[in-house]
Amino acid sequence: MAPKVALGDGPRQGVHVVGSLGLGAMRTALIGYGLGGAAFHAPFLATTPGLTFAAVVTGNPDRQRQVRERYPDVEVVASIDELWHRDLDLVVVTTPNRHHAAHARAALERGVDVVVDKPFAGSAAEARELVTLAEARGRRLVPFHNRRWDGDFRTVTRLVREGALGRVHRFESRFERWRPEVKESWKESGDPADLGSIVYDLGTHLVDQAVALFGRPTSVYAEVRTLRPDAQAHDDAFLALTHDDGTVSHLWASALAADLGPRFRVLGSSAAYVKHGMDPQEDLLKAGAIPGGTGWGADPEEAWGTLSGRPVETERGAYQDFYAGIAAGAVPVPPSDAVTGLEVVEAAFESARTDTVIALP
């Protein structure tokens, strides 16, 4: 594998070129066509120069019909076994959490680059095994942490990089929702193999953003709870991470927040940045919008955050940059960061179980 060359534009938010790819369009298959596949992956696979959206794997007849209606040139196959008879350069794994590692491993063993939705694997040990396999096969293994390209997080990254806040001492980040009713879904499952905890869902995004900004934590404290009466999976969590430079990240994920806190509150020695509301890209994609183009990812002025009371225009959200990096032969998110994220998740569960602070080696 060629040496990595950093192309990053923010604190620890590097894009690494790993070889001379992109000589022709990469034939790409999408494994899974639930919400993640339909909204967060397929629109970019279909519109990114350098990628050819070749196939979708789904055994669900309704989803097969949806793919054929929206992407008539894309082949639909019912099982992963059918996929390996085709000439592919890239596989995107967006199946239920319990299958991520197995499907990624199958692609790597066949010499195909892989993008893996979060969580990257079921454990840090399993994630390290995948990284070792990818290195041995000389293939790219890329965690899909698209929230690094949220406009609000890009704004935080720029402010931190420019020193606009002074020395950051506390980074607060929230993904809170008001969903008092439990839904029928593997994400709400109490089976540990389903990885249905909110910590694996929203929490992995929160942890990844903290790691991207401030690096690997040295310790983790967490409160992880199941609050809704009929819930089987964790639906409320608070994580406190201490980073090597002393910065603390306070992270909240909840399905039972009747009053939503700020998306970001970042406190520094010189100023504070506060931002409410969510990046607009998710709602656009769910509504079927085509990504990119004029106005894509723009935050309305009334939703801008403030820097010590002064409005600051939100950077444009840019999920398209992830797959543009893939098409260019890059690794937009280092797999080592996803391994760290899972180590933090495991430490959080241990901290919540023992009511102690867990040191990370």
Domain ranges of the chain: 5-146+325-333, 148-319+342-359
Q: Is CATH 1.10.1270.20 the classification given to domain 5-146+325-333? A: no
Confidence of residue 188 (pLDDT cuts 50, 70, 90): confident
Q: Which of 339, 353, 332 is nearest to 125 (CA)?
A: 339
Q: How many helices (H) and strands (E) does the chain have?
A: 11, 18
> For residue 264, is pLDDT > 60?
yes
> For residue 293, is pLDDT > 90?
no
Q: What is the mean pLDDT of residues 236-264?
A: 97
> For residue 2, is pLDDT > 60?
no
Q: Rounded to two decimals, what is the model's pTM?
A: 0.91
Which class in CATH covers the domain with range 148-319+342-359? Answer: alpha beta
Percent of the chain whose pLDDT exceeds 70: 94
Whether the bond between 361 and the residue before it is cis, its omega within 30 degrees of 0, is no
User: In the chain, what's the furthest Cα-to-Cα distance?
Assistant: 58
Let me know the angle formed at the C-alpha of 76 by 73 and 79, rounded to the nearest 5 degrees. Answer: 160
Q: What is the mean pLDDT of residues 352-359?
A: 98
Give the pLDDT score at 144: 98
> For residue 235, is pLDDT > 60?
yes
Confidence of residue 241 (pLDDT cuts 50, 70, 90): very high
Residue 27 phi, psi dihedral angles, 5° rounding = -75, 120
| Residue predicted with more confidence, 130 or 196 | 130
Which residues share a beta bridge with 358?
A: 220
> For residue 45, is pLDDT > 90?
yes
Give the pLDDT score at 62: 97
Q: How far is CA 169 from the centre of its chain?
A: 24
Mean of pLDDT over the chain: 92
Confidence of residue 9 (pLDDT cuts 50, 70, 90): very low
Give the pLDDT score at 187: 83
